[in-house]
Amino acid sequence: MIDIIVGARPNFMKVAPIISELEKRKAGGGRLRYRLVHTGQHYDARMSDDFFEQLGIPHPDVNLEVGSGTQAEQTGAIMTRYERLVMEKPGSLCLVVGDVTSSMACAITAQKLGVPVAHVEAGIRSGDWGMPEEINRIVTDAISDWFFTTSATANENLIKTGVSEDRMFFVGNTMIDTLLANMERLRRPRFWDRLGLQPGGYFVLTLHRPSNVDQGRQFAQLLRAISEGIRGLPAVFPVHPRTRKTLDALGFDAPGIHLVDPQPYLEFNYLVRHAKAVITDSGGVTEETTVMGIPCMTLRDSTERPETVTTGTNEILGVDPNAIRAALDRLFSHGWKKGGIPEKWDGRTGERIVAVLESLLPNDA
């Protein structure tokens, strides 16, 4: 039995294709079984339940209900509760995805109890240790047995740390499996008409990195630059709970920027698909804009997903308000690079991963 771990919003779209492939094979007599473990890192309906429902992910078998806390509090709570579960009933493999705290905490716990770990989206690196996700990636990769990667660069990064090639599988991107599978189901959010949105006539904004949103003054400057640069077009800003706290403290007011609640998967990607451009500090969103061919401006100094820049539509602008104004000017005057689709981002990654798992776990039932 494989433990599949989810904890926070970006995990849900990454496990959906793996689970659906496992279910498909099970229906056809396949041997692999899984237990879906939700750590409870994200617990709001809008950050969690909506995604399960829209993506057809089964109800978790276990919810560790850890909730919010500091990095150490969350890590500690997840490890303690997951350890209890594994000690009662160990799986044969712990499968973690992405770079959230839940992934790292469960990987450490499993490995210390002698349960092998597979990491999906392994090997990506931003080089920025100021982001908790980078620490989570490094730690998780340091103790994983098997590595499923989204790019050749990720394989190269792993080789540099001494991982042997027979433990690495360049399979592509499960988040893109989910996007391609749902492209025709994407749906307009209810506020579309109220905000007067037109295809190609608005921006989508997402910001939630602590480095961008936790310092009120810097965040206000970023928002002012965006508000001036969008030249009267609306910008829709689905607000993450972390960001909401800072905005409330700021007494938010930036003309043209419309705050909305965190959006469910189908509504969020509908917004992205029809936007003039996306301004973000998320990593996953830059992958989705790349596949949809939508201009993307990243307000960070680095990316762990370089293929979204070299192949895709993403540009790294940093957090200087002047650079943001200049990029928006460029978008209006010259348009944006067109971009292509990275290798193996073809909607079949879940299949490849499960095929590998079957060969790695020959005796599992």
> Angle 116-122-127 (CA atoms, 0-180°, nearest 5)?
130
Member of 224, 242, 330, 348 binding ligand UD1 (CB under 6 A): 242
| Minimum CB distance to ligand UD1, residue 9 (Å) | 4
| Minimum CB distance to ligand UD1, residue 254 (Å) | 21
| Minimum CB distance to ligand UD1, residue 319 (Å) | 17
- Determine if 300 is a binding residue for ligand UD1 (CB under 6 A): no
| Minimum CB distance to ligand UD1, residue 317 (Å) | 19
- Determine if 299 is a binding residue for ligand UD1 (CB under 6 A): no
- Determine if 42 is a binding residue for ligand UD1 (CB under 6 A): yes
Q: Considering only residues 84-123, where is the footprint of ligand UD1 by CB under 6 A?
A: 99-101
- Determine if 44 is a binding residue for ligand UD1 (CB under 6 A): yes
> Which residue, 30 or 132, is less far from ligand UD1 as judged by CB?
132
> Which residue, 39 or 290, is less far from ligand UD1 as judged by CB?
39
Rounded to whole angstroms, the Cα distance separating 68 from 161 reads 32
Contacts of 247 (CB under 8 A, 6+ apart): 219, 239, 259
| Minimum CB distance to ligand UD1, residue 213 (Å) | 9
> Which residue, 9 or 344, is less far from ligand UD1 as judged by CB?
9
| Among the residue ranges 36-44, 121-129, 217-225, 295-303, the one whose residues contact ligand UD1 (CB under 6 A) | 36-44
Rounded to whole angstroms, the Cα distance separating 68 from 66 reads 7
Place of tokens 């473990």: 37
- Determine if 138 is a binding residue for ligand UD1 (CB under 6 A): no
Active-site residue, 208 included: yes
Task: Determine the 3-state secondary structure of 2 from DSSP.
Answer: strand
Closest by CA position to 125, among listed 109, 105, 139:
139
User: Is 250 in contact with 219 (CB distance < 8 Å)?
Assistant: yes
Rounded to whole angstroms, the Cα distance separating 142 from 163 reads 9
- Determine if 47 is a binding residue for ligand UD1 (CB under 6 A): yes
| Minimum CB distance to ligand UD1, residue 77 (Å) | 12
Place of tokens 């990636």: 137
Task: Enumerate the H helices of the chain as residue ranges.
Answer: 9-27, 49-55, 71-88, 101-112, 132-142, 152-160, 174-182, 210-213, 216-229, 241-250, 265-273, 284-292, 307-310, 321-334, 349-360
Closest by CA position to 58, among listed 90, 35, 40:
35
Count CB neighbours of 154 within 10 A. 25
> Which residue, 11 or 351, is less far from ligand UD1 as judged by CB?
11
- Determine if 8 is a binding residue for ligand UD1 (CB under 6 A): yes
- Determine if 68 is a binding residue for ligand UD1 (CB under 6 A): yes
> Which residue, 99 or 141, is less far from ligand UD1 as judged by CB?
99
Q: Considering only residues 155-214, where is the footprint of ligand UD1 by CB under 6 A?
A: 208
Size of the site for ligand UD1 (CB under 6 A): 18
- Determine if 246 is a binding residue for ligand UD1 (CB under 6 A): no
User: Is 111 in contact with 143 (CB distance < 8 Å)?
Assistant: yes
Residue type (1 letter), 131: M
Closest by CA position to 171, among listed 111, 232, 219, 123:
123
Member of 5, 9, 306, 328 binding ligand UD1 (CB under 6 A): 9
| Minimum CB distance to ligand UD1, residue 194 (Å) | 25
**Catalytic-labelled residue, pool 208, 240, 274, 334:** 208
User: Is 3 in contact with 93 (CB distance < 8 Å)?
Assistant: yes
Q: Which residues bind ligand UD1 (CB under 6 A)?
A: 8-10, 41-44, 47, 68, 99-101, 132-133, 208, 240-242
Active-site residue set: 208
